[in-house]
Amino acid sequence: MLSNQQIKSFQQQLQHTKQELEKQLNDSGDFGLRRSQDDSTGELSSYDNHPGDQGTELYEREKDLALGEHVRDEIRDINRALQAIDAGEYGKCEVCSKEIPLDRLSIIPTTTFCVEHSPSQETSNNRPVEEEVLGPPFGRFDYDGRDESVAFDAEDSWQEVASYGTSETPSDFAYPPNDYEDMYVESEENIGYVEDYENFVGVDIYGKEITVYPNSQYQELKETLIEENIQTSIGDLPRYEHDPYVEEEKD
């Protein structure tokens, strides 16, 4: 059980800490929150500011909000402890009424709970509402996440829009694309088919009688296979007597 001298010492410590925190809030203007964001940056208007600069200022404002909330929470806990002193209950757990160890009070003089009943034992799962909007756009709609589905899903929709250009730059990729119109994830993905050979290889209704129809994709794949010395599942790609690419090679 705490002695009167110990309680008085804790009371003086709590009151001193409270005065310092209140002075900190007052001197900083609630960490600058008493002014608007434009006033705090000295800007008459943020209309012509770069989005990156706006993002920096937004981060600083969110940090000030967090710091202010932390200080106000600490003042609230101090007031709660001072009320417990006035009521003669300081040093006892609010839940089980057991004595709070002196070592715990020395480290956290604002506490009014024992270790077992401390309300801060669980990590909060509350997340900023912005994460619901800024999260990955895939996996929340029909067909998303179905490996076997070839339907037009949310990812395909995004790639279709991104093909007209994005704000990404080559520095945003480990292996930068060659064209600025390809500055989005999986821009090299084939549209309407999976493998390149599907553009020029056909079969009959029974899946036999493999036929190759020479075109530009056929020529590109053939040159790639020759360079890498690779053989396809149907053997070497055939050469046709009237293959326009063969005629070019003859010339």
Examine the domain organization and report whether 221 and 176 are in the same domain. Answer: no
Which of 161, 189, 217 is at the close of a domain? 189
Q: Per the domain annotation, does 130 fall within a domain?
A: no
Q: Per the domain annotation, does 175 fall within a domain?
A: yes
Examine the domain organization and report whether 87 and 180 are in the same domain. Answer: no
Examine the domain organization and report whether 13 and 68 are in the same domain. Answer: yes
Q: What is the pLDDT of residue 185?
A: 76
Examine the domain organization and report whether 221 and 168 are in the same domain. Answer: no
Query: If you average pLDDT over residues 31-48, what whole number do you get?
Result: 69
- The 3-state DSSP class for residue 115 equals coil
Q: What is the pLDDT of residue 127?
A: 78
Examine the domain organization and report whether 9 and 71 are in the same domain. Answer: yes
Q: State pLDDT tens for residues 207-218.
A: 888 888 888 878
Q: What is the pLDDT of residue 43?
A: 67
Examine the domain organization and report whether 225 and 172 are in the same domain. Answer: no
Q: For the whole prediction, is pTM greater than 0.75? A: no
Q: In percent, how much of the chain has pLDDT > 70? A: 78
Residues 119/88, Cβ–Cβ less than 8 Å? no
Examine the domain organization and report whether 180 and 200 are in the same domain. Answer: no
Whole-Å CA distances, 177 to 87, 211, 216 = 70, 33, 21
Strand partners, 212: 201
Q: Per the domain annotation, does 219 fall within a domain?
A: yes
Give 190 or 14, the one with higher predicted confidence.
Answer: 14
Q: Per the domain annotation, does 169 fall within a domain?
A: yes
Give 55 or 21, the one with higher predicted confidence.
Answer: 21
Q: State pLDDT tens for residues 80-128.
A: 999 999 999 999 999 998 999 999 999 999 999 998 888 877 777 777 7
Q: Per the domain annotation, does 174 fall within a domain?
A: yes
Examine the domain organization and report whether 181 and 222 are in the same domain. Answer: no
Q: Which helix (H) or strand (E) holds 25?
A: helix 4-27
Residues 209/216, Cβ–Cβ less than 8 Å? no
Q: Per the domain annotation, does 45 fall within a domain?
A: yes
> What is the total count of domains within the chain?
3
Q: What is the pLDDT of residue 10?
A: 92
The residue among 179, 197, 184 whose CA lies nearest residue 156 is 184
Examine the domain organization and report whether 93 and 11 are in the same domain. Answer: yes
Around Cβ 237, how many Cβ atoms within 10 Å?
Answer: 19
Task: Supply the range of the domain harboring residue 230.
Answer: 196-250
Q: What is the pLDDT of residue 139?
A: 64
Q: Per the domain annotation, does 133 fall within a domain?
A: no
Q: State pLDDT tens for residues 47-59.
A: 677 777 778 888 8
